[in-house]
Amino acid sequence: MRIIRGILFMLVVFVAFAAVGLMLLPKERIAKVASAEISKALGREVVITGDIGLSIWPVLGVKTGPVRVAGPDWDDAPLLKAEALNIGVGAAAALRREVDIRQIELVSPEINLITAKDGRVSWTFGETVEAVDGDSGSTGVTPFSLARASVTGGTVLIEDRMAGTREQITGLDAELSLPELSGPATLKASGVRGGAALSVDAKAGNARDLIAGRLTPVVASFSTGGGSARFDGRMTRGLEAAGQLSVSASNTSKFMQSLGLGAADVPRGMGQAIDMNAAFTFSGGEVVNLRGMTLNLDQNTLTGDADIRLSGARPRITAKLAAGALDFTSLAASGGSGGSESSSDTGWSKTTIDASGLAAVDAEVSLAVQSLDAGMLKLGASSLGVSLDNSRMVFKMPDATGYGGQITGEFVVNNRGGLSVGGNINVLQADVNPLLDDLMGVTRLSGKADGFVKFLGSGSNLNAIMNSLSGNGGIAMAGGTISGVDLNGLMGTGNGTKGTTVFDKLGASFTMAGGVLSNDNLSMTLPRIAATGKGVVGLGARTINYLFTPVALEANSGKDLAFPVKIYGPWSNPKILPDLSAAIDLNFKEKKEEVKQKVDDAIKQKVQEELGVTVGEGQSVEDAVKKGVEDKLKKELFKIFE
């Protein structure tokens, strides 16, 4: 019992002594020392105003009124202002009437992070934090420790006057731990930016070096609803950094929005989801270098190096990349090619094409691929280039392979004032069948071809684009086949709607306007057969109306025999019918005129015999009969006066 009573007595004495010591706590001195130390650390004036009161809970120390940290000399806005500052001190030091700041809490602070039009930033601090005596281990910061510094209910204003943007992070809660100045410092923070919750967890290896602006080891991670990022390397207070960076975004649009880069609807294959690992360097507050990068964009994987400049209206990417098989089929809306001709013709897709992602960045990228499938165009091993400037993308093919041949030219997608697509493409010895199948859903023509096409179309969906196509082109083939028509059978029996035509040569040029392709100079040769063609192909309507005229050489008593064929209807199931009327006109023109003359002579003879009317030279039978009748009526009329 004595021991218990002794312990209770000692506790009572301790509490009483602590209470007396707390009443003697030097409040003004604590606030003054705190503001001085913070001013020295930041190189900015720190002002603490209002009544200073004692605080027992949740911290032992003082509670101040409003706090203000001055901004840079080129702007009037403060770097920070808060409703109150709670300062906690060590209990033992408080009893000794000594200042030992162990805890700081900012209540509802407002922090202004401003980028000036000339690129200066408000969070670069003064020279007082730099080494003062040339010794790399010395700084102008008085050694101190801080078990916990926290922010509750904060707001961060991020204003970029160069880009003309302004946004906020709200609901900011943060906690900093700094056991000793020359030791590690840890930071945990959370808030809401762009409607997305975010959190940061970082640890610096040496707080003194970080405050002094020197590189120090840092491990930091960032996460939000759309994805996360992790950095492991070295960093300065001004965020100069070098190390390993990894980024994983399951929803790139949401992730970009949480970073303040703006939401974008990215097509599948271009990075709806992203995984990236690279050696990372960040310098000058605006340039990111990525080396040895592995980048997964949905189902596509690329490797190489990239540089990203963050200043300006949009980030700008310069990169040299390589890839295996790239799948960009989502760039062509579903229903684009319409499948094979044997299937039902559902027409081009009317699904709106969202090309807003072209506005997210500017870029200049060189790309070497093993293969690329863009839905309406497929390439093999190729060296390519992609440039993107203010929503206008140019896809360059300086050295590309595809469809068994060589392909050069460029393809343009422009979304500056509404979506338009255009191109200037040349092919050398390409397989026509798969090429036309991908571009137009046409599968009847086969063989190797040289050709070119220049085109331009506009609209919000593939149907509108195909119905607006304009341009011109040409094709030349040294041999090939046409399925669905047998010219030899047609010339021999008159029935050639089935089978295949094998030809020796084919050439044609064409123009396009309003989604309609027009051609009037098709030329094709077969053994003992020559053929010509003219007509129109509705690229938008997916129809054809074409007159194809094969001529059997010296087949009719040493004369050529022509047998025109009409091809008309939808691509999916066109009708192929001999044009007998045209065949007669072409093959029996002389006999037709001879028969016509005999008929006319017989009519004239009969009129003369029956009516007594002679048909004069150059006079029609009708006119002659009419004149004869008039003459007879006149004679009868004159008889009245006899």
Model confidence over 553-606: pLDDT tens digits? Answer: 655 555 557 778 888 898 778 887 776 565 555 554 554 455 455 545 555 555
Q: Which regions of the chain are under pLDDT 50? A: 1-23, 127-141, 333-344, 588, 591-592, 595, 599, 607, 621, 629, 633-634, 636-642
CA distances from 189 to 87, 150, 180, 210, 332 (A): 20, 9, 20, 18, 43
Q: What pLDDT does 389 receive?
A: 92
Closest CA to 191 of 211, 206, 210, 172: 172
- CA atoms of 102 and 470, how far apart (whole Å): 75
Q: What is the spatial distance between Cα 85 and Cα 99, in angstroms, rounded to a whole number?
A: 16
Amino acid code (one letter) for 603: I
Question: What 3-state class would DSSP assign to 627?
Answer: helix
Using CA atoms, how far apart are residues 502 and 477, in angstroms rounded to an integer?
Answer: 12
| Contacts for 422 with CB less than 8 Å, ≥ 6 apart | 411, 412, 414, 455, 456, 457, 471
DSSP label of 127: G
The C-alpha atoms of residue 294 and residue 249 are separated, in whole angstroms, by 14
Share of the chain above pLDDT 70, in %: 70
What pLDDT is stored for residue 415 in this prediction? 93
User: Is 0.85 topped by the overall pTM?
Assistant: no
Instruction: Name the strand (E) or helix (H) holding 605.
Output: helix 589-611
What confidence score (pLDDT) does residue 8 get? 43
C-alpha 439 chain-centroid distance:
21
Q: Are strands 146-160 and 101-107 parallel, antiparallel or unpaired?
A: parallel
Q: Give the pLDDT confidence score for residue 638 in this predicted structure.
A: 45
Query: pLDDT tens, 340-399?
Result: 343 445 678 888 888 887 888 899 999 999 998 877 788 899 999 999 999 999 989 888
- Contact status, residue 356 vs residue 314, Cβ threshold 8 Å: no
pLDDT at 7: 40
CB 280 within 8 A of CB 251: no
CA distances from 363 to 314, 319, 331, 487 (A): 10, 8, 18, 52
pLDDT of residue 604: 52
pLDDT of residue 101: 65
Predicted confidence at residue 356, as pLDDT, reads: 82
- pLDDT reported for residue 405: 92
Rounded-to-integer distance, Cα 238 and Cα 598, Å: 105
Cis peptide before 58 (omega within 30 of 0): yes
